[in-house]
């Protein structure tokens, strides 16, 4: 979010955006693209805050491929691929003895695994990094989470034969979002949760709005780039420019795609926007 003037696309990149949207236009070679405009310094220290159900796995794979091709050091969990899906980052989540920084370094270069945002602790592991995240419209994000985390099971157990499981869920989400439900904390402003602000069990009125607005101001100061799922390709072009990466660096195959067959009525949509108002304010 800092240096907003650096995020505007030049005419060349607009043409590339058109190509990504299936509009055929003649394009210059990659060497011309790299040499066009002023010189820039490639960013190699990146902290990626991986939000849930926002195309975050696709973005993570792009950053991982970039780091791997340049032999950069990754801060990784002692086992598996998740540092924590629920809690903010702590240095002791890493096993720096088993997986120390490469090339005799004292700090890591890249963090891409699921873990909550905690700037102070992250700075200690990767100082002077560029901070990136992805946001998705709260309606699309919650519908995707509902299917991916299999919250349908709890709804079916409550009301067998329901013709619209998601609408039943949205009648009263707190009925289902309990500690017994898988990833229950993602059901209420899950994107804010991943970015370090918990809104569970808090007032959903003006007090919550004030809390969220203040936190958005913090994120606006601390994050360098926010991608938007609904404009993912365009966001990648902005990332390419801001981080001085190449077109090859931002090529991707989509990962973690889920199949959701829920038809959302306007009434249910309005309920989502009210229930996850914090995420809506963040997205706007």
Q: In the prediction, which pLDDT does 26 show?
A: 41
- What is the rounded average pLDDT of the residues 145-153? 89
Contact 197/212 with Cβ under 8 angstroms?
A: yes
- What is the rounded average pLDDT of the residues 168-185? 88
Domain total for the chain? 1
Q: In the prediction, which pLDDT does 156 show?
A: 84
Burial category of 14 from C-beta neighbours within 10 Å (exposed 0-12, middle 13-18, buried 19 and up): middle
Q: Residue 231 carries which DSSP code?
A: G
CATH number for the domain spanning 143: value is 3.40.50
Q: Is the pLDDT of residue 118 over 60?
A: yes
63 vs 31: which has the higher pLDDT: 63
**CA pair distance 16, 76, nearest whole angstrom:** 34
Q: Is the pLDDT of residue 3 over 60?
A: no
**CA pair distance 223, 276, nearest whole angstrom:** 22
Q: How confident is the model at residue 9 (pLDDT cuts 50, 70, 90)?
A: very low
**Which is nearest to 187 in space by CA: 226, 137, 213, 149?**
149
H-state helical runs in 223-275 = 232-243, 266-275
Q: Residue 204 carries which DSSP code?
A: -
Contact 237/112 with Cβ under 8 angstroms?
A: no
pLDDT tens-digit map of 193-205 = 999 999 866 656 7
The residue range of the domain holding 268 is 4-283
Q: In the prediction, which pLDDT does 260 show?
A: 59
Contact 58/254 with Cβ under 8 angstroms?
A: yes
pLDDT tens-digit map of 52-99 = 999 999 999 999 999 999 999 999 998 888 999 899 999 999 988 888
**CA pair distance 156, 35, nearest whole angstrom:** 58
Q: In the prediction, which pLDDT does 97 show?
A: 86
Q: In the prediction, which pLDDT does 7 show?
A: 39
What mean pLDDT, rounded, does the chain reach? 85
What is the side-by-side strand order in the sheet with 110-111? 110-111, 46-49, 130-135, 225-228
pLDDT tens-digit map of 195-240 = 999 986 665 677 889 999 999 999 999 999 999 999 999 999 999 9
Task: Report the phi/psi class of residue 262: left, alpha or beta, with left for phi > 0 and alpha for psi in -120 to 50.
Answer: beta
């Amino acid at each position: 979010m800092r240096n907003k003037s650096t995020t505007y696309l030049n005419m060349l990149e607009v043409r590339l955006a058109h190509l990504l949207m299936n509009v055929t236009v003649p394009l210059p070679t990659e060497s011309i693209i790299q040499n066009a405009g002023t010189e820039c310094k490639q960013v190699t220290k990146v902290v990626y805050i991986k939000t849930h159900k926002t195309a975050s796995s696709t973005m993570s794979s792009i950053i991982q491929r970039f780091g791997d091709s340049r032999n950069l050091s990754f801060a990784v969990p002692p086992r598996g691929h998740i540092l924590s899906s629920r809690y903010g980052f702590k240095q002791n989540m890493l096993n720096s003895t088993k997986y120390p920084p490469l090339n005799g370094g004292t700090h890591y270069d890249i963090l891409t695994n699921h873990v909550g945002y905690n700037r102070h602790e992250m700075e200690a592991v990767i100082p002077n990094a560029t901070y990136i995240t992805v946001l998705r419209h709260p309606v699309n994000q919650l519908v995707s989470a509902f299917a991916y985390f299999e919250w349908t099971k709890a709804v079916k157990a409550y009301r067998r034969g329901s013709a619209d499981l998601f609408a039943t869920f949205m009648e009263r989400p707190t009925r289902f979002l309990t500690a017994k439900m898988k990833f229950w904390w993602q059901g209420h402003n899950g994107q804010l949760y991943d970015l370090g602000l918990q809104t569970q069990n808090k007032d959903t009125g003006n007090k919550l709005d004030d809390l969220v607005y203040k936190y958005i101001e913090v994120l606006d100061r601390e994050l360098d780039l926010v991608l938007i799922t609904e404009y993912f390709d365009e966001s990648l072009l902005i990332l390419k420019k801001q981080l001085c990466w190449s077109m090859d660096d931002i090529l991707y195959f989509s990962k973690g795609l889920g199949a959701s067959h829920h038809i959302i009525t306007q009434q249910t949509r309005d309920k989502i926007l009210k229930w996850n108002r914090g995420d809506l304010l963040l997205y706007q």
